[in-house]
């Protein structure tokens, strides 16, 4: 049966310092979420994001794609072609569980993951370790996507967004960090993190509306004994953020939108994007 390659709408933000002919000197992060794929070209040594390409799938979800659909997408294959100094992929999903790195060696990763999560059919369980946090993420990715990444990007290292989110937050040295709940809002789940020189809390929760989100945020605040002293920082691109802000303002000390990580240089064209958008894409080069 003849297959049709999947198609994307593409937005590009490029720095004047980026030169296509010098791609072999740059690193590439391929950030994969169900709603979009981001290609982030960086100068790792200079902590510079040189180009961000956002690929929005037309009438399909990224994580539901089969191998042949990805393989026959001439548009995606062309964008991923070329030589880079290194290539890393970042999977953004809620099929993840964190484990202290010290316990990972004593536990079977697959069995430990299944204690907390349901494994996708025809999928693999991967590990991402972050020494600075002394934590590892066990996460689940479908085999079709893994096969495509390994064939298209030989030697690719696959990471999970949870540890990038946590490490970037830890590096920002927020005032009153122990009172801050950082909430990353995706279309159907949220990630809540509290980091103060160590991970005080991290988990993901599914939601259907802003009331669900408020419930989970307030439950975490109560668990951490923050209650009305909690300061909520929101990240994400979903329209519901405004409703969440207005609702949470009735129950917590402060609600604000997050900012891009400090210590990273961005293209001037990034001013077109709100500062709380695409936090993982702008943080990934911090996770060396």
Domain boundary among 138, 171, 204: 171
pLDDT at residue number 224: 97
Assess whether pLDDT exceeds 60 at residue 82: yes
Our count of domains for the chain comes to 2
Higher pLDDT, 82 or 35: 35
**Spatial distance between the Cα atoms of 164 and 216, rounded to a whole number of angstroms:** 22
Q: Which residue has the higher pLDDT, 132 or 213?
A: 213
3 state SS of 34: coil
116 Cβ contact list (under 8 Å, min separation 6): 97
Segment 201-212 mean pLDDT: 96
* Confidence band, pLDDT 50/70/90 cuts, at residue 1: very low
List, in sequence order, every residue forming a beta bridge with 143; answer none if it has no partner: none
CATH number at residue 80: 3.30.420.250
Over residues 170-197, mean pLDDT:
95
pLDDT at 288 over 90: no
The range of the structural domain enclosing residue 245 comes to 173-257
- The domain boundary, picked from 108, 142, 171, lies at 171
Q: What is the mean pLDDT of residues 86-90?
A: 96
Q: What is the pLDDT of residue 106?
A: 53
Tell me the β-bridge partners of 14: 51
CA 37, distance to chain mean position in Å, is 11
* Axis-axis angle for helices 210-223, 241-248 (nearest 10): 50
> Is residue 218 pLDDT above 60, yes or no?
yes
The answer to the question of residue 278 being in a domain is no
Tell me what pLDDT residue 119 has. 92
**Which range (53-67, 71-85, 103-117, 154-168) has the least confidence?**
103-117
Residue 250 lies in a domain: yes
Lowest mean pLDDT among 22-31, 108-117, 190-199, 277-286: 108-117
Report the distance separating Cα 68 and Cα 70, nearest Å.
Answer: 5
Burial of 177 (0-12, 13-18, 19+ CB in 10 A): middle
Q: Are residues 22 and 136 in the same domain?
A: yes
Q: What is the pLDDT of residue 3?
A: 46
Mean pLDDT for 115-135 is 91
**pLDDT score for 253:** 96
On average, the pLDDT of the chain sits at 92
Interval 15-58: pLDDT, tens: 988 988 898 999 999 999 999 999 999 999 999 999 999 999 99
CATH number of the domain that residue 200 is part of: 3.30.420.260
> 70 and 57 in contact (C-beta within 8 Å)?
no
* Same domain flag for 20 and 156: yes
CA angle 117, 121, 125 (to 5 degrees): 55
Collapsed DSSP state (helix, strand, coil) of residue 173 = coil
* 203 & 85 share domain: no
| Residue range 177-187: mean pLDDT, rounded | 96
How confident is the model over 214-220, as a mean pLDDT?
Answer: 97
Answer whether residue 2 shows pLDDT above 80. no
Mean pLDDT of 199-219: 96
Q: What is the pLDDT of residue 4?
A: 56
Inform me whether the pLDDT recorded for 110 exceeds 70: yes
The model carries a pTM of 0.94
Of 171, 186, 212, the last residue of a domain is 171
Domain identity same for 91 and 221: no
């Amino acid at each position: 049966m003849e297959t049709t390659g999947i198609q994307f709408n593409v937005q590009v933000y490029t720095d004047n310092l980026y030169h296509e002919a010098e791609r072999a000197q740059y690193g590439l992060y391929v950030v994969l979420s169900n709603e979009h794929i981001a290609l982030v070209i960086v100068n790792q040594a200079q902590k510079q994001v040189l180009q961000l390409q956002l690929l929005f799938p037309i009438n399909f979800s990224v994580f539901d794609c089969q191998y042949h659909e990805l393989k026959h997408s001439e548009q995606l294959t062309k964008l991923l072609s070329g030589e880079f100094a290194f290539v890393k992929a970042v999977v953004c999903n809620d099929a993840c569980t964190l484990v202290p790195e010290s316990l990972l060696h004593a536990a079977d990763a697959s069995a430990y993951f299944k204690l907390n999560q349901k494994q996708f059919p025809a999928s693999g369980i991967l590990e991402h370790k972050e020494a600075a946090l002394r934590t590892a993420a066990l996460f689940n990715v479908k085999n079709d996507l893994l096969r495509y990444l390994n064939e298209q990007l030989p030697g690719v290292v696959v990471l999970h967004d949870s540890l990038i989110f946590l490490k970037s937050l830890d590096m920002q040295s927020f005032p009153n960090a122990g009172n801050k709940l950082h909430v990353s809002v995706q279309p159907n789940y949220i990630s809540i993190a509290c980091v103060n020189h160590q991970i005080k809390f991290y988990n993901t929760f599914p939601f259907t509306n802003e009331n669900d989100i408020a419930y989970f945020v307030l439950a975490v605040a109560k668990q951490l004994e923050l209650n009305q002293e909690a300061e909520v920082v929101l990240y994400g691109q979903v329209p519901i953020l405004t409703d969440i802000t207005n609702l949470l303002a009735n129950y917590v000390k402060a609600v604000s939108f997050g900012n891009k990580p400090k210590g990273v240089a961005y293209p001037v064209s990034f001013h077109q994007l709100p500062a709380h958008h695409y936090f993982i894409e702008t943080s990934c080069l911090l996770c060396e």
